[in-house]
Amino acid sequence: MAAFRKGLNETGYVEGQNVAIEFRWAEGQYDRLPAMATELAQRRVTVIVAAGGTAPALAARKASATIPIVFSGGDDPVAQGLVASLGRPGGNVMGVTLFGSELMAKRVELLHEFLPKAGTIAVLVSADAPADAVYVKEARWPRFSDSASLWRPVA
């Protein structure tokens, strides 16, 4: 939050003087996001910053088609249904992505190069995060894709 406030200050926005910031925290409970996004839309905030992945951005997009929504995430925003295309996102949703899931196969490949005799490579993700399924799918490096025993959820 310090970096967020610093960035605002650098562009002339000072909390309490010319901008108010309304924080909402889902604390990992993704089912709370739609109600929080709807509440912010009903308050007619100027912009919604949907940080923390795809789920907050999707909830905000569903809550408002007119309030600008700025997201940050590691997944493909087109595949996740946030924007129509990268070149012409359209609508009221815009943001930054790291394309983290597209790099997952490369990460597993590099791990295999560094540890060629490794029998198991684990991918730890949150079962509650909708976008994490993409990471698991992309991590299925071809060499291991036929081995179902390597790809199983752990409770």
The total number of residues written for the chain in this structure: 155
β-bridge mates for residue 93, sequence order: 69
Q: Which CATH architecture has domain 2-99?
A: 3-Layer(aba) Sandwich (3.40)
Q: 3-class DSSP state for residue 24?
A: coil
Predicted local confidence at residue 98, as pLDDT: 74
Q: What is the pTM for the complete model shown?
A: 0.67
Task: Render pLDDT for 68-93 as a digit per residue (tens, 0 to 9).
Answer: 999 987 678 888 888 998 888 889 99
Domain residue ranges in the chain: 2-99, 102-150
Cross-sheet strand order for the sheet of 93-97 = 48-50, 69-73, 93-97
* Residue 151, pLDDT score: 47
Q: How far apart are the two ends of the chain, measured CA to CA in Å?
A: 32
Question: pLDDT below 50 — which residues of the chain?
Answer: 145-151, 154-155
Distance CA 69, CA 100 (A): 21
Under 8 Å between Cβ of 52 and 32 = no
The pLDDT value recorded for residue 48 is: 96
